[in-house]
């Protein structure tokens, strides 16, 4: 059997930059550096044919999918709090909410990551967010508990009311991860 690499080769995204302005999407956008991965994801999730997009990183191919809810096989869900310098802040005495309160003064960030595969594909994928709201919601939902969400689940995206980002309205997408048993 062909085993996938230990690091994700594709990233699920809920937004993109258009003309220098962040734009929320109502369907998943997946980026990768590998044309075979882009083609495989397109064959499973549909949407536009994989195309090049201007990227400062190596994941220069994007698939604008036709789905707002993807069946996934979750391997890990976690968060970490980092300082403005990117170093981990692993003070276990503080709750996630307390870290968020301190973020206003010391610019710490919370990075939430879900690692998963698409059923039928061997490629490891990731969804990553720096949203405090998402981390707090996923914590409230118990998603960070060991083995809370491992196996079949649905990763979905939905638009919500707008907020201003750099003077432009930006609908804040809500990302949910629901174990398949609970989604049924």
134 and 157 in contact (C-beta within 8 Å)?
Answer: no
Q: Are strands 124-129 and 10-18 parallel, antiparallel or unpaired?
A: parallel
State how far the alpha carbon of 118 is from the alpha carbons of 16, 25, 83, 95, 168, in Å: 22, 20, 32, 32, 34
Query: Minimal CA–CA distance to 29: which of 58, 78, 70?
Result: 70
Tell me the per-residue pLDDT of 56-79, one tens digit each, with 9 for 90 and over: 788 899 999 999 999 999 988 988
The confidence score (pLDDT) of residue 9 equals 92
Residue of 102, 179, 184 whose CA lies nearest to 148? 179
Give dist(CA 179, CA 147) in Å, integer: 11
Residue with tokens 């302005």: 21
What are the residue boundaries of the structural domains of the chain, listed by start?
A: 10-178
Structure tokens at 5: 């690499």
Give tens-digit pLDDT for 93-131.
888 889 888 888 888 899 999 999 999 888 889 998 888
- Report pLDDT digits (tens) over 30-48: 999 999 999 999 999 999 9
Cβ atoms within 10 Å of 51's Cβ, excluding its own: 11
Least confident piece of the model among 10-14, 60-64, 154-158, 161-165: 161-165
| Confidence category of residue 3, pLDDT binned at 50, 70, 90 | very low
Q: Write down the pTM of the prediction.
A: 0.83
For residue 163, pLDDT over 80 is answered with no
Give the integer Cα–Cα distance in Å for 44 and 91: 41
């Amino acid at each position: 059997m062909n085993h996938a690499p230990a690091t994700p080769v594709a990233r699920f995204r809920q937004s993109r930059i258009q003309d220098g302005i962040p734009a929320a999407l109502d369907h998943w956008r997946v980026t990768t550096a590998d044309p075979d991965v882009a083609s495989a994801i397109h064959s499973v999730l549909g949407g536009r044919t994989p195309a090049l997009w201007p990227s400062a990183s190596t994941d220069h191919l994007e698939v604008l999918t036709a789905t707002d809810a993807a069946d996934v096989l979750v391997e890990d869900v976690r968060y970490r709090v980092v300082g403005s310098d990117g170093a981990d802040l692993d003070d276990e005495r503080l709750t996630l909410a307390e870290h968020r309160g301190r973020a206003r003064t010391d610019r710490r960030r919370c990075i939430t990551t879900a690692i998963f595969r698409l059923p039928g594909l061997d490629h490891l994928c990731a969804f990553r967010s720096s949203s405090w709201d998402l981390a707090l919601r996923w914590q409230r939902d118990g998603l960070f508990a060991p083995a809370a969400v491992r196996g079949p689940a649905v990763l979905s995206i939905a638009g919500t009311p707008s907020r201003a980002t750099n003077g432009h309205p930006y609908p804040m997408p809500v990302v949910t991860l629901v174990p398949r048993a609970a989604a049924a």
